[in-house]
Structure 1
Amino acid sequence: MERALYGEGGFYRRGERPAEHFRTSVHASPRFAGAVARLLAEVDDALGNPARLDLVDVGAGSGRLLAHVLEAADPALAARLAPVAVEIAPRPPDVPAAVRWRADLPEAVTGLVIANEWLDNVPLDVVEQTPAGPRTLLVDPATGAERPGPEPSAAELAWLERWWPLREPGDRAELGAPRCAAWAAVIGRLERGVAVAIDYAHERAARPVYGTLTGYRDGATVPAVPDGSCDVTAHVALDACATAGERAGADATLLTTQRAALRGLGLSGARPPLDLAHRDPRGYLAALCAAGEDAELTDPAGLGGFGWLVQAAGVPLPAQISTSRP
């Protein structure tokens, strides 16, 4: 999975743009960036409006989220903003000059970190329960053919027992320890502020029995063959990442849904009053389009069903989100 995504000739090393293969909140509507801008403003106030405010987009892809947040933010705030895109793919030519592009995390962050659909692409191993116990699956990178391999390490078995216990032969789990470590690295760099991980997620009480590993290419799901031709992804155990973040220094944690979070940030999806169509037809049409985009972003069967892991260090949890629990 590491080689298929990030190795020489890997899916993301080639500069593939996510919008060409799957729909994300960032590409669904700029209103998502508007909600992030409102969250950023609350974090800014909690920090006391510092002279420099960091905004870090981890797994930035095309850089579109940062570009849209810069457009949506209050000009006075935008003037103090230090936007950073963390992305191994080459910098696209249309990214605003204000955005710093780098392949690794900054050493220290005071502000807001957004990791939208990043953790699901942090490589991991898959384990299957066999009559002889858990075994790590080995995969032919050319065909995707699988066979049982060695027993997981003691640390991996401990992670499984705590976060994704396997019971019956054939049950599968995705070893999420690398995602926990990746998220802990983000929180460890957060001196003061808020970090948000947004992803397909599941919780310990309802892990999928056969796992979630899949591939995406050209807008369709495909077999997760790790040959570099497709995005290989798996849902995230955000509850395990939350514990890792707390160990790394997070003071407060909230696990919620995108639907609840975005509604707290002002995306209600409510249709405009019909009489507006007579008084201001253009205004009505614009409000109707906005309601439709809000509805897509908060649809519990789609993007609204994403998990949000919100963790704070040195500041309270954002009230706009923490008062909007699912």
Structure 2
Amino acid sequence: MTALATEWLTWRTAMERALYGEGGFYRRGERPAEHFRTSVHASPRFAAAIARLLVDVDAALGRPDRLDLVDVGAGSGRLLANVLASVPPGLAGRLAPTAVEIASRPPDVPARIAWRPDLPEEITGLAVANEWLDNVPLDVVERTPDGLRTVLVDPASGTERSGSEPSAEDLDWLERWWPLGEPGDRAEIGRPRCAAWASVVRRIRRGLAVAVDYSHSRDSRPVYGTLTGYRDGATVPAVPDGSCDVTAHVALDACAIAGERVGATAGVLTTQRAALRALGLSGARPPIEMARADPRGYLAALCHAGEDAELTDPSGLGGFGWLAQSVGIPLPASLPAGSAPTGVPSTADR
């Protein structure tokens, strides 16, 4: 019997095919909630917090006749539907909700939500990219005894081998954002995520862009990277054959600098826990006296407290990074102080 030939691809090419190619994981309509728990599907309280943020953006913009709300990587469209149910009536009538998603439109998405495969040319309002950047394909690099090498993968099996030296652009990104010290150390080249985020911020004429994702910062990059797979609610090996979601954490600090370069005028890096608490999701249990005075209200408040606790759990969803960048308006006061995005100079900047 003749053995099948192995096809060696860079991880970026393999991920692109596996996730978005013909018959790819997302191209065929797989929904994130079927494979891993997201904030959107954990509770409508997440959408309620986004709605509160939207109200502040609307006020900063002077309450325009049309207010854009763009969900980048919309999945099932549930975030937009839940936000529509949460905003005040006066704002809802001016809201133009748009889902950006390559999969086909689900039948239960409200008719007023526009559905498109690409970003609008201009956005005045709020753009949210919730767990989108972690699925932007990227390359993996490993330090070997012979120097830095791009990692190649067989998409059918997930087997890896060393390839050529990374490009000059990738080497510069590595030096600035993810330097590797010892043989065996690995990094995921976040340059495509920086470009993807910049493409969102560039389209903001006035307003706010928010990215929410698994993330890490330059002073705490994982030594062996974060590449992994998800299928049916379980973590599985990252085999880029289209059978599972292939993902990696996001260098949001690098994305922040990319956003600044295309026009962001203010920004903050923080955690989901801090952001949602600032937006009113405290997780505090209602007073026990309420159980006697208003039993139904007490049960509802208790349910909200439990949902808030899951969304803000620092070891779970609350540990996600939030990058918020504004263009032409101040950062909303409802966002936490966090830290201002800062870049680490590369050799080209010295």
Task: Give the TM-score, by structure 2 length.
Answer: 0.92
Contact 1:43-1:194 within 8 A present in 2 as well: yes
Report the counterpart of residue 7 of structure 1 in structure 2. Answer: 21
Structure 2 counterpart SS, 1:320: coil
Contact 1:54-1:109 within 8 A present in 2 as well: yes
Instruction: Give 1:322 shift.
Output: 3.2
Measured in 2, the distance between the counterparts of 1:277 and 1:122 equals 47
Structure 1 counterpart SS, 2:26: coil
Report the counterpart of residue 67 of structure 1 in structure 2. Answer: 81
Measured in 1, the distance between the counterparts of 2:296 and 2:281 equals 20
Q: For 1:1-326, what aligned pairs fall within 5 Å after superposition?
A: 1-323=15-337
2:88 partner letter: D
Measured in 2, the distance between the counterparts of 1:19 and 1:205 equals 31
Contact 2:274-2:336 within 8 A present in 1 as well: no
Structure 2 counterpart SS, 1:68: helix
Measured in 1, the distance between the counterparts of 2:244 and 2:105 equals 20
Instruction: Give 1:324 shift.
Output: 6.6
Structure 2 counterpart SS, 1:159: helix
Q: What are structure 1's unaligned runs of at least 5 residues?
A: none
Instruction: Give 1:57 shift.
Output: 0.2
Instruction: Give 1:318 shift.
Output: 1.1
2:92 partner letter: A
Measured in 1, the distance between the counterparts of 2:285 and 2:326 equals 34
Change (3 A) 1:108 1:16: same
Contact 1:264-1:324 within 8 A present in 2 as well: no
2:220 partner letter: A
Identical residues among aligned pairs (%): 78
Contact 1:264-1:323 within 8 A present in 2 as well: no
Measured in 1, the distance between the counterparts of 2:46 and 2:272 equals 10
Measured in 2, the distance between the counterparts of 1:158 and 1:242 equals 17
Measured in 1, the distance between the counterparts of 2:52 and 2:80 equals 13
User: Matched residue pairs, number?
Assistant: 326
Contact 1:200-1:307 within 8 A present in 2 as well: yes
Measured in 1, the distance between the counterparts of 2:159 and 2:191 equals 24
Contact 1:53-1:82 within 8 A present in 2 as well: yes
Task: Give the TM-score, by structure 1 length.
Answer: 0.99
Q: What are structure 2's unaligned runs of at least 5 residues?
A: 1-14, 341-350
User: What do you get for the CA RMSD once the two structures are aligned?
Assistant: 1.0
Deviation per residue, 1:42-90 (Å, 9 max, x gap): 0000000000000000000000000000000111101000000000001
Instruction: Give 1:323 shift.
Output: 4.1
